[in-house]
């Protein structure tokens, strides 16, 4: 018997878009909705084995329903900008697959589903209709079922006549009558005021259909309901008509043209490869060539999960396989996989391991596997796993692949996604399923293929993968702080804060909570009548930007600015560092590799990268960071103007390269060129402005940003930037080329090959496009600086381990590395840091590193 599969394209594309995180292809085009839609379509084609198939789409033109009721679907949210262009990509993929695409002006996708369902009945064929629109339930019949997508795109309810009756209390042909009474807010169908789903169902069960309900309005419940049915009878009829699907679109469709056979995977390979859908290609390769043929082995077959309840079973499994292994180590279980088809769960509950068996024996067995240098491993977040193994005195060893880092390299902008989310995004696991070690193995294979295809494997292999052991060692080592100094400073800050509080209360005329935005706003703007520059939904804004603009208006403002700065430093660092220091006085920050889109390393819990360096108070906090033991020293190596040197190299700007090559002052030189004066006539103000523009260009500053930095008008700032780019024309050309690459390829790259995708450049929103242009211009520079510091960390760590094992790399902050060493090793450490940091990569300008030493961080800096 023939069977037709008809999919509501608009419905499923919207559901896929909201179910999956944003994905982009190598051109920077958003693809998450297309990926999810095609993944579900492939599953449907495999499960249903249709002889005919079609995907129906709405058209932008008004339908006959809009002509009948102008407010039909009014109030619906506009299609997201990230989704809109994906419809064309989806249609291109469907064409490659040989799936018919159906649209008809004046009609909706529902009407196409209805017409094809009616045609299927005429042809004595089955119809499977796939949609997330409940209106389509009226199409259910003995020959037709609706697969209703109830959750994301991974779960569907198969709705036959009995299922519709059970869910709605009416047969399918009464669904339009139900909508006529209860209305439908999603389509702005009004229905009868005061009639909800339960009442509508009761009325239809009692009287039969809408016309009978209206004819017996006087018998329908209380006076309010009776009056509403009489008053809004015509509106109920109109609502029913709006909800009724047209099953006779004029002209119909050519049934034979909808015939479907599974395409050769090679026919769809170009389209799917361009979109980056490697996993879907593999799934297609598992489909039968013709309907009715035996299904071949799937690329990603369902994972079989087995539970190892006895310790001997675990031993036998590990003895039987030499690797590679995928290992997930979690709080209550371990998941192991030797291949992509079977996952073994190792619970830690003692009763499941047998009487008298210590659950730590299971941990120790798996830990021994992880420590075996001869066995290859695939893990997720190797650094965290290494910390988990510390209590067992085990170190992760051998060839260890990290799927978390691989995913980050494939798309740095996707942020910190867990394994479950990544497996869902790559269509390995359905939504809501917990990933196993076998799924991890599947994921890494896909990521490995993607890294090679996108030519970013070296970023993973040469930078990210060897970096995690360095960060792990730094986290374990920690940075010692002098808690006595911190307490002394905290007490002094506390006294100053108390003094400021008293002065502010005196100026306000009464006490109030300085930490309350609401109370402060009332004092400043209601009582003292200061100009209110900004208001929020909750009241006056008193953020630092507002306060700084009011500095000269009233003496209370400078006091509040100082109060906030000191309060922040006291709570976050002076008190916060004391609270997190261990028994040896060491602070152990946590470094993360997969957070920033530029590739920069982040420091968390506590964040040691945010200690201010431009204020006296911030510098004094660094005095509390000391060497690990009395007599030892801290040696720091800090790159000098690394971003500007990278810019000079990448833009091939000769004047800048010449200044750096001869050790000149780039800011003074820039000021002289921009202002057209000799270097000796450059004023301090000129140099400051040139410095702001130099660094602003690196970070993609706008005329507004520069105007704020230099306290000039936006017009003056725009002229300054333009003058700068005229002075350095190759920088302008370089930045134009970056934007062009971002638009053409969908990404820009660092010197090391790290990609930063730029989908913002395709946005129809001006602000988004402008943001995308700034990303395209500065990501290669900032990203290259991040890559260089990572490469330097690896080089310094490796050479210290080999040549000076007593010296420890303990911190990375922006472009600075800090080493703790014995005094007799300090000179060798300085030489080593110079060599590693300055020659980790060769540019057309020299990389300059300032190296110094001291007993504490401030002295060393």
**pLDDT tier at 310, thresholds 50, 70, 90:** confident
Quickly tell me which residue has 């102008």 as its tokens: 70
Q: Specify burial of residue 843 (Cβ count, 10 A radius: 0-12, 13-18, 19+).
A: middle
Average pLDDT on 328-343 reads 89
Find all residues with CB under 8 Å of 760, minimum gap 6, and list them: 768, 769, 771, 772, 775
Quickly tell me which residue has 């390393």 as its tokens: 601
**pLDDT tier at 501, thresholds 50, 70, 90:** very high
Q: Tell me, what's the pLDDT at 353?
A: 46
Average pLDDT on 436-446 reads 94
Q: Which of 487, 509, 488, 490 is nearest to 498 (CA)?
A: 490
- How far is it, in rounded angstroms, from Cα 626 to Cα 515? 33
Work out the percent of the chain whose per-residue pLDDT is above 70.
Answer: 94
Residue 510 φ/ψ, nearest 5 degrees: -170, 160
Range with lowest mean pLDDT among 75-79, 312-316, 369-373, 559-563: 75-79
Output the CA torsion sign for 258, 259, 265, 267. negative
Q: Which helix (H) or strand (E) holds 504?
A: helix 483-508
Instruction: Dump pLDDT digits (tens) for 536-581.
Output: 766 788 888 888 888 889 999 999 999 999 998 999 899 999 999 9
Q: Tell me, what's the pLDDT at 615?
A: 78
Q: Which of 419, 834, 776 is nearest to 598 (CA)?
A: 776
Which 3 state secondary structure label does DSSP give 819?
strand
- Residue 318: is its pLDDT beyond 50? yes
**pLDDT tier at 231, thresholds 50, 70, 90:** confident
- Residue 755: is its pLDDT beyond 90? yes
Q: Which of 835, 811, 828 is nearest to 473 (CA)?
A: 811
Q: Which of 204, 499, 468, 437 is nearest to 304 (CA)?
A: 437
Quickly tell me which residue has 């259910």 as its tokens: 140
Quickly tell me which residue has 């077959």 as its tokens: 301
Cross-strand bridge partners of residue 818: 636, 811
| Cβ-contact 439, 343 below 8 angstroms | yes
**pLDDT tier at 333, thresholds 50, 70, 90:** confident
Which 3 state secondary structure label does DSSP give 775?
helix
- How far is it, in rounded angstroms, from Cα 714 to Cα 705? 8
Range with lowest mean pLDDT among 348-357, 435-444, 445-454: 348-357
Mutual angle of helices 654-661 and 666-675, in 10-degree steps: 140
- Residue 356: is its pLDDT beyond 80? no
- Residue 299: is its pLDDT beyond 50? no
Mutual angle of helices 714-727 and 684-698, in 10-degree steps: 80
Q: Tell me, what's the pLDDT at 241?
A: 85
Which 3 state secondary structure label does DSSP give 539?
strand
Residue ranges with strand state E in 362-520: 377-379, 400-402, 479-480
- How far is it, in rounded angstroms, from Cα 698 to Cα 675? 20
Instruction: Dump pLDDT digits (tens) for 149-176.
Output: 865 566 778 889 888 888 878 888 889 9
| Cβ-contact 738, 776 below 8 angstroms | yes
Find all residues with CB under 8 Å of 204, minimum gap 6, and list them: 169, 170, 174, 177, 178, 181, 210, 213
- How far is it, in rounded angstroms, from Cα 492 to Cα 616? 14
Q: What is the CA radius of gyration of the chain?
A: 33
Phi-psi region of 415 (alpha: psi -120 to 50; beta: other; left: phi over 0): left
Q: Tell me, what's the pLDDT at 287?
A: 38
Range with lowest mean pLDDT among 354-358, 388-392, 406-410: 354-358
Average pLDDT on 822-832 reads 97
- Residue 350: is its pLDDT beyond 70? no
- How far is it, in rounded angstroms, from Cα 798 to Cα 383? 17
**pLDDT tier at 352, thresholds 50, 70, 90:** very low
Cα dihedral angle (147, 148, 151, 156), rounded to 10 degrees? -20
- How far is it, in rounded angstroms, from Cα 654 to Cα 646? 13
Find all residues with CB under 8 Å of 762, minimum gap 6, and list them: 28, 29, 85, 743, 772
| Cβ-contact 148, 131 below 8 angstroms | yes
- How far is it, in rounded angstroms, from Cα 653 to Cα 697? 14
Instruction: Dump pLDDT digits (tens) for 670-693.
Output: 888 888 889 889 898 888 888 888
| Cβ-contact 838, 848 below 8 angstroms | yes
Q: Between these two residues, 835 and 715, which has the higher pLDDT value?
A: 835
**pLDDT tier at 291, thresholds 50, 70, 90:** very low
Instruction: Dump pLDDT digits (tens) for 591-600.
Output: 999 888 889 9
| Cβ-contact 474, 811 below 8 angstroms | yes
Strands 377-379 and 325-329: parallel
Q: Tell me, what's the pLDDT at 76?
A: 67
| DSSP track, 271-328 | HHHHHT-HHHHHHHHTS-SSTTSPP---SSPPPEEEE--SHHHHHHHHHH--S-EEEE
Mean pLDDT over each residue of the chain, to the nearest integer? 87
| Cβ-contact 160, 57 below 8 angstroms | no
Q: Within 10 A of 803 (CB to CB), how many other CB atoms are there?
A: 12
| Cβ-contact 283, 42 below 8 angstroms | yes
Average pLDDT on 479-501 reads 95
Range with lowest mean pLDDT among 150-164, 273-287, 761-775, 847-861: 273-287
Instruction: Dump pLDDT digits (tens) for 18-61.
Output: 877 777 776 778 888 999 899 889 888 888 889 999 999 988 76
Q: Which of 691, 690, 669, 689 is nearest to 681 (CA)?
A: 669
Average pLDDT on 599-628 reads 87
Q: Specify burial of residue 198 (Cβ count, 10 A radius: 0-12, 13-18, 19+).
A: exposed
Highest mean predicted confidence (pLDDT) among 118-132, 166-180, 815-829:
815-829
Q: For the whole model, what pTM was predicted?
A: 0.70
| Cβ-contact 478, 580 below 8 angstroms | no
Instruction: Dump pLDDT digits (tens) for 395-413.
Output: 999 999 999 999 999 988 7
Q: Between these two residues, 796 and 361, which has the higher pLDDT value?
A: 796
Which 3 state secondary structure label does DSSP give 361?
helix
- Residue 286: is its pLDDT beyond 50? no
Cα dihedral angle (721, 727, 731, 732), rounded to 10 degrees? 60
Residue 328 φ/ψ, nearest 5 degrees: -115, 120
- Residue 74: is its pLDDT beyond 60? yes
Range with lowest mean pLDDT among 48-57, 296-305, 635-644: 296-305
Instruction: Dump pLDDT digits (tens) for 641-675.
Output: 999 999 999 999 998 999 999 988 899 998 888 88
- Residue 285: is its pLDDT beyond 80? no
- How far is it, in rounded angstroms, from Cα 618 to Cα 608? 12
Q: Is the peptide bond before 216 cis (omega within 30 degrees of 0)?
A: no
| Cβ-contact 325, 367 below 8 angstroms | no
- How far is it, in rounded angstroms, from Cα 362 to Cα 318? 11
Residue ranges with strand state E in 51-110: 52-56, 100-102
């Amino acid at each position: 018997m023939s069977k037709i599969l008809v999919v509501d394209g608009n419905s499923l594309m919207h559901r896929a878009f909201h179910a999956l995180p944003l994905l982009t292809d190598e051109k920077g085009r958003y693809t998450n909705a297309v990926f999810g839609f095609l993944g579900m379509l492939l599953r449907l084609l495999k499960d249903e084995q249709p002889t005919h198939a079609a995907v129906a789409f709405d058209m932008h033109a008004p339908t006959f329903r809009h002509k009948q009721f102008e407010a039909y679907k009014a109030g619906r949210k506009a299609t997201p900008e990230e989704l809109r262009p994906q419809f064309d990509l989806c249609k291109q993929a469907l064409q490659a697959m040989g799936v018919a695409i159906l649209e008809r002006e004046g009609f909706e996708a529902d009407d196409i589903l209805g017409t094809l369902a009616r045609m299927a009945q005429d042809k004595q064929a089955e119809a499977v209709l796939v949609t997330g629109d409940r209106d389509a339930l009226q199409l259910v019949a003995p020959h037709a079922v609706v697969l209703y997508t109830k959750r994301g795109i991974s779960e569907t309810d198969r709705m036959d006549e009995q299922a519709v009756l059970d869910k709605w209390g009416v047969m399918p042909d009464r669904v339009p009558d139900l909508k006529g009474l209860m209305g439908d807010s999603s389509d702005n169908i009004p229905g009868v005021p005061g009639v909800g789903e339960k009442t509508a169902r009761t009325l239809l069960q009692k009287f039969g259909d809408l016309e009978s309900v209206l004819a017996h309005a006087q018998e329908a419940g209380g006076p309010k309901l009776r009056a509403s049915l009489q008053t809004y009878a015509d509106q109920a009829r109109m609502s029913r008509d709006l909800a009724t699907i047209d099953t006779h679109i004029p002209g119909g469709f050519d049934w034979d043209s909808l015939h479907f056979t599974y395409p050769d995977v090679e026919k769809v390979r170009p389209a799917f490869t361009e979109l980056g859908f490697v996993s879907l290609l593999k799934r297609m390769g598992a489909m039968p060539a013709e309907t009715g043929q035996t299904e071949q082995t799937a690329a990603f077959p369902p994972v079989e999960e087995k539970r190892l309840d006895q310790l001997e079973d675990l031993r036998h499994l590990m003895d039987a396989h030499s690797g590679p292994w995928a290992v997930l180590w979690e709080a209550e279980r371990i998941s192991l996989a030797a291949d992509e088809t079977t996952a073994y769960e190792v619970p830690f509950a003692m009763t499941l391991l047998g009487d008298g068996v210590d659950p730590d024996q299971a941990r120790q067995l798996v830990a021994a596997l992880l420590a075996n240098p001869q066995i290859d491993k695939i893990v997720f977040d190797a650094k965290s796993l290494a910390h988990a193994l510390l209590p067992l005195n085990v170190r992760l060893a051998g060839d260890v692949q990290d799927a978390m880092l691989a995913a980050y390299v494939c798309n740095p902008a996707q942020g910190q996604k867990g394994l479950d989310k990544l497996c869902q995004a790559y269509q390995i696991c359905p939504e809501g399923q917990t990933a196993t070690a076998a799924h991890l193995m599947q994921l890494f294979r896909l990521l490995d293929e993607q890294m090679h295809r996108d030519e970013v494997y070296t970023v993973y292999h040469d930078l990210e993968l060897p970096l995690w052991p360095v960060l792990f060692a730094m986290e374990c080592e920690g940075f010692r702080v002098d808690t006595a100094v911190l307490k002394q400073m905290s007490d002094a800050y506390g006294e100053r804060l108390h003094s400021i509080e008293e002065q502010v209360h005196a100026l306000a005329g009464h006490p109030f909570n300085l930490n309350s935005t609401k109370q402060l706003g009332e004092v400043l703007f209601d009582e003292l009548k200061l100009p209110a520059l900004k208001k929020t939904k909750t009241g006056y804004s008193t953020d630092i930007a507002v306060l700084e603009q009011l500095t000269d208006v009233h003496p209370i403002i400078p006091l509040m600015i100082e109060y906030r700065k000191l309060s922040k430093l006291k709570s976050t660092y002076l008190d916060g560092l004391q609270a997190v220091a261990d028994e040896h006085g060491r602070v152990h920050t946590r470094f993360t590799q997969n957070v920033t889109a530029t590739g920069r390393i982040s420091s968390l819990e506590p964040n040691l990268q945010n200690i201010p360096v431009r204020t006296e108070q911030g510098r004094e906090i660094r005095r509390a960071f000391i060497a690990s033991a009395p007599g030892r020293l801290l040696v720091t190596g800090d790159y000098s103007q690394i971003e500007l040197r990278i810019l000079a190299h990448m833009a091939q700007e000769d004047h800048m390269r010449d200044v750096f090559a001869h050790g000149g002052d780039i800011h003074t030189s820039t000021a002289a060129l921009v202002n057209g004066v000799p270097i000796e006539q450059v004023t301090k103000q000129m140099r400051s402005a040139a410095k702001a523009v130099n660094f602003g260009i690196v970070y993609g500053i706008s005329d507004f940003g520069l105007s704020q930095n230099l306290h000039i008008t936006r017009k003056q700032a725009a002229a300054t930037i333009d003058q700068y780019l005229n002075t350095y024309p190759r920088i302008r050309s370089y930045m134009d080329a970056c934007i062009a690459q971002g638009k053409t390829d969908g990404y820009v790259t660092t010197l090391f090959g790290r990609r930063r995708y730029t989908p913002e450049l395709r946005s129809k929103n001006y602000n988004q496009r402008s943001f995308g242009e700034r990303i395209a211009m500065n990501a290669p520079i900032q990203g290259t600086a991040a890559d260089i510091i990572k490469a330097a960390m690896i080089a310094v760590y490796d050479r210290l381990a080999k040549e000076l094992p007593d010296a420890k790399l303990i911190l990375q902050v922006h472009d600075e590395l800090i080493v703790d060493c014995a005094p007799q090793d300090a000179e060798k450490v300085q030489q080593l840091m110079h060599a590693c940091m300055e020659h980790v990569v060769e540019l057309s300008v020299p990389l300059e590193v300032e190296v110094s030493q001291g007993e504490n961080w401030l002295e060393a800096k």
